[in-house]
Amino acid sequence: MPYLPVGYPDLATSIDLIQALAATGADLIEVGVPFSDPLADGPTIQAAAQQALANGVTSSACLAAVRTLRGRGVQTPLLLMGYVNPILAYGVERYVADAADAGADGFIVPDLPPDEAAEMAAACAEYGLALIFLVAPTSPDKRLRLAAEHSKSFLYLVSVAGVTGERRELPPHLADFIARVRAHTDLPLAVGFGISTPEQAAAVAALCDGVVVGSALVRLAGETRPAAKVSALSSLLSAAVHDTTMINH
Amino acid sequence: MSIPFITDLPDAHGRFGPYGGQFVPETLMPALAELTEAYHIAQNDPDFWNEFHRLMRDFVGRPTPITHARRLSEHLGGAQIYLKREDLAHSGAHKINNALGQALLVQRMGKQRIVAETGAGQHGVATATAAALLGIQCVVYMGTVDMARQRPNVFRMQLLGAEVRGVDSGSKTLKDAINEAIRDWVTHVADTHYLLGSALGPHPYPAMVRDFQRVIGVEARQQMLERVGRLPDTIVACVGGGSNAIGIFHPFLADEDVRLLGVEAGGRGIASGEHAARFADPKIARIGVLHGTKSYVMQDADGQIALTHSISAGLDYASVGPEHAYLRDIGRTAYTYCTDEQALAGFKALCAYEGILPALESAHAVGHVLELAPTLPKEHILLLNLSGRGDKDLDTVMGAI
């Protein structure tokens, strides 16, 4: 489950890169919508968002990117990942309706916990889109149940207390955390934050149903010949995750 | 002294009508629940308030006096102007009230480390002061642009034992310092408290910060009754995030005859778009979410947070406390703005007529009073919250005059 933001390094390239993610076997793609103050993100994604905004990318441009990808025959589920203020500025219901129309499958909004999500959840229900909630290692059981009850399609586990970004080691208590969440829900579980290499992805995939990789891909998107590099890492990640899945099942 | 709570807001979800709430990453939701619970227990514990008020008296020097600004009142030829002298609070501004209140709470919660943001440096200095007094590790995030324009405060924080971390992302000012403080908090949430400096952010901060700042209004109300035998007709305070304003307004909310007036930063004028007057410019400022709370937010059409401008770093922020937005909606408070130029006029007038150097933030309230007072009768009593002292701003003022 790779993440790339629309508009980085530029709009056209970012759409090509997301298409490449689909072609290299991604099960689902998180399409990043840039925001000026991304407080759940580390330096890599912050910098990419700033560049995307400098390139003039708006919420409308992100929805249009989804439409373009569908027009090019991309079938992979696409989730829009962005912060709540641009959604409020666009208008919650109109945003959800236009996203559905463009061909998106749902949303991840890191600063919209279930407690504040009633309006967005109602709009998603109306238009048949998924609103994915996050849980963290700090979440007590009560909040795991709350998120599981409200999340549609899967639950997003934040692997570590912290922001997005590549880390050398996986968090030590990840298996315990995943098991604790598993005890509360039958939803598929995806794990993200701090996972960047195929080896890490394989290790995490053995414990859950989906692995999110963002910053490592975003970093490559900013280098020279990004298409080749992003495709190569995405292929390795897909292989690593799917091999493990096959071994497990 | 007990602090009476005269309104029931926010509600259990931390909302002031449609404003407020908790728009934060899930990792922080348990920390906010823990903080809400710890504050709730402290709030109802007389021992907590006894300790708070002991420190307010013995360390901060409270109650701060009320000064009748005789010469300025005569010069303007209208209302009688009284000053609530938060500039005389230890460390130079009202910020110390909240910093010490939260630091006491941190001790109760057993956390070892605090992080804070600062724009002008006043909240950073207050937090570093509280941390030094109580022996707590302290990290202050500050935009590198602000560090350059507030060098003395950076040094002051370092002398007080705080680590000042420069923030180079975004606009390199207060908003980015808050982003970075929140990122630090997310990463070290188990042992770290975020000591937010204004009546902003996710619940319970707007209510908690207000409650620590209410000491200003509680004192002022009693002092005015003792000094002039009645309540003021108008209270004026500057509004950035709005903590000094809500602190002096709140104990007067039930006194319906007292007019409560907030003054935002008009920067280079509303028409220029370069300001921080969230209530004055519907083209730029609309209801939105910034740093965990719903309120008026200066933003572009796409919901990206706008860059603000004020000569005063402490008012240079894109959003305003949610309780102010609510009180404005119900008509209990009103807001106006004061440009950089008017604030400088206020700064100079208070120096020349009263022998007081106001902080540039507070000088916005003075700047508005220069225009307001002459329109009012001589028996009108106008109370101005002089939220901080202006030594920190001498470089800026010298550059501007």
Contact call for B303 and A59, based on CB within 8 A: yes
Contact call for A139 and B26, based on CB within 8 A: yes
Touching check for B108 and chain A: CB below 8 Å?
A: no
Evaluate if residue B92 carries a pLDDT over 50: yes
Query: If you count residue pairs, one on A and one on B, with CB atoms under 8 Å apart, how many are there?
Result: 118
pLDDT score recorded for residue A171 = 92
Task: DSSP for B142-182, please give it.
Answer: EEHHHHHHTHHHHHHHHHTTPEEEEE-STTSSHHHHHHHHH
B113 Cβ contact partners less than 8 Å away, ≥ 6 residues apart: B136, B137, B138, B139, B188, B191, B192, B193
Contact call for B13 and A115, based on CB within 8 A: yes
CA-closest candidate to residue B332, choices B226, B246, B223, B259: B259
A interface test, pick of B28, B29, B294, B295 with most A CB neighbours within 10 Å = B29
Q: What is the DSSP letter of A69?
A: H
Closest-CA residue of chain A to B174: A37
Q: Which of B22, B187, B303 sits opposite A88 (nearest CB)?
A: B303
Q: How far is B25 from chain A (nearest CA, A)?
A: 5
Q: How far apart are CA B88 and CA B354, in angstroms?
A: 14
Domain positions in chain A: 3-248
Confidence band for A243, pLDDT divided at 50, 70 and 90: confident
Q: How far apart are CA B329 and CA A64, in angstroms?
A: 37
Confidence band for B35, pLDDT divided at 50, 70 and 90: very high
Evaluate if residue B379 carries a pLDDT over 90: yes
- pLDDT tens-place string over residues B287-333: 999 999 999 999 999 999 999 999 998 999 999 999 999 999 999 99
Average pLDDT estimate for B202-221:
98
- The answer for B 114-173 residues in CB contact with A (under 8 A) is 169-170
Q: How far apart are CA B397 and CA B389, in angstroms?
A: 13
A3-248: CATH architecture? Alpha-Beta Barrel (3.20)
Which residue numbers of A have CB closer than 8 Å to B's CBs?
Answer: 35-40, 42-43, 46, 50, 53, 58-60, 84-90, 110-113, 115-116, 133-140, 143, 147, 158, 161-163
Token pair in block for residue A10: 């530029």
b/e per residue B251-284 (b: at least 16 CB within 10 A)? bbbeeeebbbbbbbbbbeebeebbbbbbbbbeeb
Q: How far is A74 from chain B (nearest CA, A)?
A: 27
Q: Which of B182, B189, B304 sits opposite A35 (nearest CB)?
A: B304
Touching check for B297 and chain A: CB below 8 Å?
A: yes
Q: What is the DSSP letter of B250?
A: G
Is residue B122 packed enough to be buried (19+ CB in 10 Å), middle (13-18) or exposed (0-12)? buried
Catalytic residue chosen out of the listed positions A16, A27, A30, A116? A30
B391 Cβ contact partners less than 8 Å away, ≥ 6 residues apart: B92, B357
Active site residue A111: no
Q: Which of B22, B187, B292 sits opposite A163 (nearest CB)?
A: B187
Q: Which of A37, A59, A147 sits opposite B179 (nearest CB)?
A: A37
Touching check for B24 and chain A: CB below 8 Å?
A: yes
- pLDDT tens-place string over residues B234-270: 999 999 999 999 999 999 999 999 999 999 999 999 9
| Catalytic residue numbers of B, as ranges | 95, 117, 387
Q: Are the C-beta atoms of A112 and A126 separated by less than 8 Å?
A: no
Q: How far apart are CA A184 and CA A144, in angstroms?
A: 7
* Average pLDDT along chain B: 95
Catalytic residue chosen out of the listed positions A16, A41, A126, A141? A41
Helix, strand, coil proportions of chain B in percent (round to 5)? 45, 20, 35
Token pair in block for residue A90: 């666009």
Task: DSSP for A152-175, please give it.
Answer: -S-EEEE-SSS-S---SS--TTHH
Q: Which of B189, B288, B304 sits opposite A161 (nearest CB)?
A: B189
Q: Are the C-beta atoms of A25 and A242 separated by less than 8 Å?
A: yes
Evaluate if residue B78 carries a pLDDT over 60: yes
Contact call for A86 and B303, based on CB within 8 A: yes
Q: Rounded to the nearest 10 degrees, what angle do helices B205-228 and B322-329 cross at?
A: 60
Q: How far apart are CA B279 and CA B273, in angstroms?
A: 13
B interface test, pick of A39, A84, A156, A159 with most B CB neighbours within 10 Å = A39
Q: How far is A138 from chain B (nearest CA, A)?
A: 6
Q: Which amino acid is residue B90, in one-letter code?
A: H
Q: Which amino acid is residue A64, in one-letter code?
A: A
Q: Which of B25, B176, B304 sits opposite A86 (nearest CB)?
A: B304
How far apart, in Å, are the Cα atoms of B114 and each of B27, B139, B241, B312, B373? 17, 6, 20, 25, 42
pLDDT score recorded for residue A244 = 57
How far apart, in Å, are the Cα atoms of B310 and each of B182, B270, B342, B357, B401? 24, 11, 12, 18, 15
pLDDT score recorded for residue B7 = 67
pLDDT score recorded for residue A28 = 97
pLDDT score recorded for residue B8 = 78
Token pair in block for residue B393: 């701003």
Average pLDDT estimate for A126-151:
96
Q: Which amino acid is residue A83, in one-letter code?
A: Y
Q: How far apart are CA B251 and CA B223, in angstroms?
A: 13
Q: How far is A55 from chain B (nearest CA, A)?
A: 13
Token pair in block for residue A246: 């096959």
Tell me how far the alpha carbon of residue B135 is from its chain's centroid.
24
Evaluate if residue B342 carries a pLDDT over 80: yes
CA-closest candidate to residue B277, choices B259, B260, B264: B264
Closest-CA residue of chain B to A58: B302
Evaluate if residue B6 carries a pLDDT over 60: no
Evaluate if residue B4 carries a pLDDT over 80: no
Q: What are phi and psi of B235, to 5 degrees?
A: -120, 130
Q: How far is A6 from chain B (nearest CA, A)?
A: 15
Q: Are the C-beta atoms of B319 and B293 separated by less than 8 Å?
A: yes
- The answer for B 246-285 residues in CB contact with A (under 8 A) is none
Q: What is the DSSP letter of B307?
A: P
How far apart, in Å, are the Cα atoms of B218 and each of B84, B211, B367? 11, 11, 25
- pLDDT tens-place string over residues B152-196: 899 999 999 999 999 998 888 899 999 999 999 999 999 999 999
Asked if the ipTM is above 0.85, the reply is yes
Q: What percent of chain A has pLDDT over 70?
A: 98
Task: DSSP for B79-131, please give it.
Answer: SEEEEEEGGGSTTSBTHHHHHHHHHHHHHHHT--EEEEEESSSHHHHHHHHHH
Q: What are phi and psi of B58, to 5 degrees?
A: -85, -25
Which CB contacts under 8 angstroms, 24+ apart, belong to A113-116? A113/B22, A113/B23, A113/B24, A113/B25, A113/B26, A113/B29, A114/A146, A114/A147, A114/A149, A114/A150, A114/A151, A115/A146, A115/B13, A115/B21, A115/B22, A115/B29, A116/A84, A116/B21, A116/B22, A116/B23
Touching check for B26 and chain A: CB below 8 Å?
A: yes
Q: Are the C-beta atoms of B380 and B233 separated by less than 8 Å?
A: yes
Q: How far apart are CA B349 and CA B370, in angstroms?
A: 8
Contact call for A46 and B169, based on CB within 8 A: yes
Structure-model confidence comparison of residues B279 and B169, the more confident one: B279
Contact call for A37 and B305, based on CB within 8 A: yes
Closest-CA residue of chain B to A89: B303
Token pair in block for residue B334: 């009103």
Contact call for B26 and A35, based on CB within 8 A: no
Contact call for A113 and B26, based on CB within 8 A: yes
Touching check for B305 and chain A: CB below 8 Å?
A: yes
